Chain A
Amino acid sequence: MKSQLRQYIQETLLENGAPHAVQDDENLLGSGLVDSVGMMSLVLFIEETFGVAVPPEDVTIEHFLSIDTIATYLEARVAA
């Protein structure tokens, strides 16, 4: 799951296409790595790839700060 997220973020969402190895604990939001349009795209990718519905109210810094927190959130959603 993390590798798929990492690959999508790295190849599709990073601004300017600059080479950047995204770390699993790296802050995606505060650093501006992923902007709001990018976040919408990421949510769509997650829903299509992992078959998990992500309600808009769940798209918060708590759940989407980093690849680690996204994975934790998705695992909880799948388990629920």
Chain B
Amino acid sequence: MDFSWSDEQRAFRDRVVAFARESLNDDLRTLDAQGAFPRVLWDRCAAFGLLGLAVPEAYSGTPDVDFLTAMLAMEGLGYGCRENGLAFGINAQLWTVQLPLLRFGTNAQKERWLPRLCRGEWIGAHAITEPEAGSDIFNLQTHARRVEGGYVLHGAKCLVSFAPIADLALIFATLDPALGKWGITAFVVEKGTPGFHAGPVQEKMGLRTVPIGAFTFDDCFVPDENRIGPEGAGVSISTHSLEWERCCILASQLGAMERQLETAIAFARERKQFGQAIGKFQSVAHRITDMKLRLETARLLLYKVAWLKQNNKSAMLEAALLKLYISESFVASGLDAIRVHGGRGYLTENEVERDLRDAIGGLLYAGTSDIQRNIIARLLGL
């Protein structure tokens, strides 16, 4: 196992950090307050090539990079860009929409959808959660009925990132409820398809710039050519995607934790109380020490999982450990950062509290912390 980075990889990360700092930090408080999706920033990321990182050049139009480099770039994005919602949204599209299309799609499907997604012209959503299928994720009610030339979908999805603005959705529906989860099949539905409706933006606590909402399918016909993978392979496609998502989606949170730590250290060295810098008080210094420990242990887990995936090794257990640990660490460090900053950290204008609000979602999406613990326990033979 070798976690060292090449000069080229480090240089690429540095370019991403510089780009993010210069181009992605405009007027963030307003965006957060309005819950507005920053389409301009999204387009800048597409022009830089970030939306094509997980996709070969033939479809993305941007030079190929290996998975480890892509993950390092996402870490750099989280470090340089203070808008956690943007980094989350990019990761969500890369790993839960583009990657399944690349891995399981036909050539025609890849040619139709991937270039548009990589260029930022279209936005993709991954829709699996339903009102009665949250942590019990495969208890789907959305139904696909076989008809001449395709399928008719009926049902609803909720808590879908990008649903209100998505141009296409990767959705999961069951062909036969009697087959349980083994009847689940994946489809792509394009915006404008009759019977396919997106609900309005729903307000939420954090990641407010990523619009979240619901889809409904009211006798929505999708042609055969929009089915992804074989019938009944939906569980495997979803599980495969979720494992990648758990590996990658939090890489940007690691970058954000590093930025957060540096900000806390700078403040603790500058801010004086009782005649000395507050960092000289053990209670403050120890809190920052804990933030550093979380950052470095999270980094080791992330790099181990990335190394396993790069080398085509199973990362079931490690991905669950990683998802659990980084998401919980970001919340804990977000709270510590506010404590270090005191009242200033509580004020929205100083952009400290936003990290904590943005971190909470990580405890829930891609499998809650409780579900990660369940997976880990099962894999330990419990």
Contact = CB atoms under 8 A, between A and B. Distances in A.
B236 A56 contact: yes
Contacts of A62: 232
Given A44-B316, A60-B231, 18 more contacts: A29-B179, A29-B182, A30-B178, A32-B180, A36-B138, A38-B378, A40-B316, A44-B314, A56-B239, A56-B240, A57-B229, A58-B233, A58-B236, A59-B233, A60-B230, A60-B232, A60-B236, A62-B232
A61 B179 contact: yes
Given A36-B239, A56-B240, A29 B180 contact: yes
B208 to A, nearest CB: 32
Q: Which one of A29, A58, A61 has the greatest number of beta carbons of chain B within 10 Å? A: A61
Number of chain B interface residues as a range: 20 to 34
A56 B233 contact: yes
Contacts of A10: none
Interface string B97-113: 00000011000000000
Interface of B: 103-104, 138, 178-183, 229-233, 235-237, 239-240, 314, 316, 375, 378-379, 381
A41 B180 CA distance: 19
A34 B327 CA distance: 29
Give the dominant DSSP class at A's interface.
helix
A40 B375 CA distance: 11
Q: Which one of A36, A41, A56 has the greatest number of beta carbons of chain B within 10 Å? A: A56
B230 A57 contact: yes
A12 interface: yes
Nearest to B231: A60
B236 A57 contact: yes
A78 interface: no
A61 B180 CA distance: 10
Contacts of B378: 37-38
Q: Which 6 A-B pairs have the closest CB atoms?
A: A61-B182, A59-B236, A56-B236, A60-B232, A56-B240, A57-B229
Contacts of B240: 56
A32 B181 CA distance: 10
B334 to A, nearest CB: 30
24 contacts: A12-B381, A29-B179, A32-B180, A36-B138, A36-B239, A37-B378, A37-B379, A38-B378, A40-B316, A41-B316, A56-B104, A56-B237, A56-B239, A56-B240, A57-B104, A57-B233, A58-B233, A58-B236, A59-B235, A60-B230, A60-B233, A61-B183, A61-B232, A62-B232
Contacts of A40: 239, 316
Interface in A21-46: 29-30, 32, 36-41, 44
Nearest to B183: A61
